[in-house]
Amino acid sequence: MDRLIYTAGSGAKHILEQQATASHNLANVSTTGFRAQVDAFRAVQVEGGALPTRAFVVNASAGTDFSSGALQATGRELDVAVKGKGWIALSMPDGTEAYTRNGALNMNENGLLTGIGGNAVAGDGGPISVPPDVNVEIGGDGTISTIEKGTKPGTPTVLGRLKLVNPPEADLVRGDDGLFRLKTGKAAEVDPGVSVAGGMLEGSNVNPVDSMVNMISLARSFEMQMSMMKNAENNAAKATQILALS
């Protein structure tokens, strides 16, 4: 059988995987701090192939677009957006750290400052607890301070500082929960150069128009692969007819 059918089949399989990625990105176009996923594929020569044009498509790696999204003002005191490069560190239940650009922070029933998924926000001295009946302010360096409600403006009370990191992007890997971690599993060092903006959130970096155009292009490519498989079937049928006559 002509190896063309395997070439077209592998191409169609990976086009479907790219479609799934494009659909996932498009579904997260409004997700705060989302980073678009990028699929990378490469061609591998078919061993023992009679023609140099016969090649398989295989997975090379699943990458990430780390470009920044647009900042959106919310006015909410617990919202924070990382400006430029950098990440907000979260303390996971298993004791490890994970990193996110989603700065929609909250307080649980115990006053513990939490991030996405209810995970505790990592501070410079451990988890950060916020007392009740206070106004919270987050400074540009991640410092969290409070002032009691109903009192005259005075000296704010500093509760701690967000752990802001900026590890090399090549060392980060996306988990199934959407959070990023270091490939080594270790915790990243604090980077004093990372700054944040309070009362703002960062939008997704997915361009919906580009994603939709990409999905259309992938659909056309899938149709082409199916046409190649049909041609391979027709060639095999014609060859069988010729051999039957000889």
- Domain borders along the chain are 4-66+206-245, 71-202
Residue 201 token pair: 């959130």
Distance CA 196, CA 97 (A): 19
Burial 94-119 (b: 16+ CB within 10 A, else e): eeebbbbbbbbbebeeeebbbbbeeb
* 218: enclosing H helix or E strand: helix 208-245
d(CA 166, CA 220): 39
- CA-to-CA distance for 94 and 175, rounded, in angstroms? 14
**E strand or H helix at 25:** helix 4-27
Tens digit of each residue's pLDDT, the chain (246 residues):
566 777 788 888 888 888 999 999 999 999 999 999 988 776 676 666 556 666 666 666 678 999 999 999 999 999 999 999 999 999 999 999 999 999 999 999 989 999 998 999 999 888 999 998 888 999 999 999 998 887 666 678 899 999 999 999 999 999 989 999 999 989 999 999 999 999 999 999 999 999 999 999 999 989 988 888 888 888 888 888 888 876
3 to each of 73, 105, 228, 232, how far by Cα in Å? 56, 55, 11, 9
In this structure, are residues 206 and 29 in contact, taking their beta carbons and an 8 Å threshold? yes
